[in-house]
Structure 1
Amino acid sequence: MIITSDKNELIKKIKKLNNKKDRYESGLFFVEGRNNVNEVLKSKFSIRYIIISENYNNNIDFDLNRIIKVPDNLFKKISDTVTPQNIMAIVRIPRYELNTIIDKNNVYIIADEVQNPGNLGTIIRTADAFKVRAVFTINNSVDIYNPKVIRSAMGSIFHIPVVNIDDIDELMNRLKKSCIKIYSTDLKADQYIFDFKISNNVAFIFGNEAKGVNPMLNGYIDGKFKIPMTGNAESLNVSITASICLYESQRQRLIK
């Protein structure tokens, strides 16, 4: 299929997917770039269309009837990047059930009001690297299907469940029923990260870049720890904090 006009109804719908409201109303999001498109093609995600520019020359193993070719200037209009890679996929937003995700002998991440897309994307990518079972977002975190989150995650959003949670009580209660301990970092904590057994059956809460973990979550938290820092920096970036915690969790698993 070839589309040349930005007045085309499908092109209009794709352009709207930059907006969170339109993503959820349509049940669709988009991913850009050859690597990300290859990752979604290998996944179980449902792809509606693949859009390519007229100068895209690589072969695509996909239904030809759902490959749409557009002029370069039109591709730039629907792209979210300054220098487009000339390929994008329009993908259905998946549905996840908590009872199929949460169980024993796993590690989870809860992102609490993490608002920077790059931070959330990096957390997702790190979670994938350290075999986290799922990442949950709560309390107005940046949308998980924000194009910048997708790019920062580098395909990892297609490897592990990443779920936006509206009912925090349901999430926390399901974690507790599966004997998952819930921990958070706190600069004022008395104990260090290595004082805790965090190899498995654990969920880490990582809070807002400026405010930290929301105090309203204290009732769910089983313990707080700090990361030893001997330099002069006041704190760590939230994605770096997540990386350190997941590394220590894996280190404990590997030394058993």
Structure 2
Amino acid sequence: MVITSKDNPKIKQLAKLYVSRKYRRETGLFVIEGLRGCVDAVRDDVEHDGLLKVDGVYYTENAFDSAEGFGEVLEKIPDSRRFVITREIADRISDTDSCQGVFVTAKRLDKALSADGLKAGGKYLVLDELQDPGNLGTMIRTADAVGLDGVVLSGNCVDLYNPKTVRSAVGSMPRVDIFVEKDFEAVTEMLGKKGIRTAAAVIDGGTEIKQFDFGGGCAVVIGNEGRGLSQEHVEMCSDRVTIKMYGHIDSLNAATAATIFLWEMTRRGD
């Protein structure tokens, strides 16, 4: 199907999904933009029998011609879910400076946290009140890279389906179990029931990361970029761990710190 009008209902839905968190919640859909992320999404959906549950693929003719392998996997998506759009429509929807002309709408991936959904003795990342969408996307991508068992979003975290989060994750979201539970105490209790210790990342006062034992079930807990974890939530965790700083800085970007913690946890944990 070829769409040339910005007033087409499908285009209106796509544009609204891009900008409205409320609408994403109501519809249960979100948007992926960019050649790499969309090609990965379509391929994952085809190869894993609907793992991502692609709802629609929107692309310009130029994007179709320039993405290696895109046409091959696209042929396996039903015609009713494929839409050719004009360059003008693509530029109107995108919030990037260099729109690549391809979008995918897909069903939400997150799950409610439950003890049954957790892996006994698993490795997890818990994010409490994280606010930067780029940081969240980078952390999900890192979790995918190190083979983490899952990521838990707690408190009032940034929207998982913010377009900047999705772009930063670069296709990793379908490959990582992502759980949502606003009640931080409930998070620590459920992890504890599965034999998973919670290691609060603190600037000082914790066991230095090189000496910390990440063996067995363990979850690294990282707080808000500006405030870190509240003292109340630190005390709910079973352990505290610190990255010792050298040089002239006293803290790291949240995503950078998470990368160090996750590398150490999965490299030395068992």
Where does 1:115-194 land on structure 2 (aligned, <5 Å)?
Answer: 115-194=131-210
Taking every aligned residue pair, what percent have the same amino acid on both sides? 30
- How well do the aligned residues superpose, as a CA RMSD in angstroms? 1.7
Contact persistence 2:119–2:149 (CA under 8 A): no
Contact persistence 1:144–1:162 (CA under 8 A): no
> For residues 248 and 222 of structure 2, what CA distance do their matches in structure 1 show?
22
Residue 80 of structure 2: aligned partner: 65
Deviations 1:185-224 (A, max 9, x none): 2122152112221133001111111100122313420111
Distance 1:154 1:218, change over 3 A: same
Contact persistence 1:200–1:249 (CA under 8 A): no
Q: Does 1:48 align with 2:55?
A: yes
Structure 1 unaligned segments of length 5 or more: list them.
Answer: none
> For residues 52 and 86 of structure 2, what CA distance do their matches in structure 1 show?
27
Residue 109 of structure 1: aligned partner: 125
Of 18-27 and 187-196, the range deviating more from structure 2: 187-196
Structure 2 unaligned segments of length 5 or more: list them.
Answer: 46-50, 66-70
Q: What is the DSSP-based 3-state SS (H/G/I as helix, E as strand, rest coil) of the residue aligned with 1:111?
A: strand
Of 113-122 and 52-61, the range deviating more from structure 2: 52-61
Residue 22 of structure 2: aligned partner: 21
Q: What is the DSSP-based 3-state SS (H/G/I as helix, E as strand, rest coil) of the residue aligned with 2:207?
A: coil
> For residues 144 and 233 of structure 2, what CA distance do their matches in structure 1 show?
25
Contact persistence 1:118–1:149 (CA under 8 A): yes
> For residues 37 and 146 of structure 1, what CA distance do their matches in structure 2 show?
16
Contact persistence 1:183–1:221 (CA under 8 A): yes
Residue 96 of structure 2: aligned partner: 81
How many residues are matched?
Answer: 254
Contact persistence 1:39–1:158 (CA under 8 A): no
Contact persistence 1:101–1:134 (CA under 8 A): no
Deviations 1:144-198 (A, max 9, x none): 1111001111111111112332343432221110011001121221521122211
Deviation at 1:100, TM superposition (A): 4.6
Contact persistence 2:110–2:177 (CA under 8 A): no
Q: Does 1:33 align with 2:34?
A: yes
- 208, 212, 217: which one aligns with 1:201: 217
Distance 1:123 1:138, change over 3 A: same
TM-score (normalised: structure 1): 0.93
Q: Does 1:210 align with 2:211?
A: no
**AA in 1 matched with 2:58:** I
Residue 48 of structure 2: aligned partner: none
> For residues 94 and 151 of structure 1, what CA distance do their matches in structure 2 show?
15
Distance 1:163 1:215, change over 3 A: same
Of 90-99 and 41-50, the range deviating more from structure 2: 90-99
Q: What is the DSSP-based 3-state SS (H/G/I as helix, E as strand, rest coil) of the residue aligned with 1:125?
A: helix
Contact persistence 2:198–2:221 (CA under 8 A): yes
Deviation at 1:77, TM superposition (A): 1.2
> For residues 67 and 245 of structure 1, what CA distance do their matches in structure 2 show?
41
**AA in 2 matched with 1:68:** F
Q: Does 1:96 align with 2:97?
A: no
Deviation at 1:95, TM superposition (A): 5.1
Distance 1:233 1:219, change over 3 A: closer
> For residues 128 and 19 of structure 1, what CA distance do their matches in structure 2 show?
27
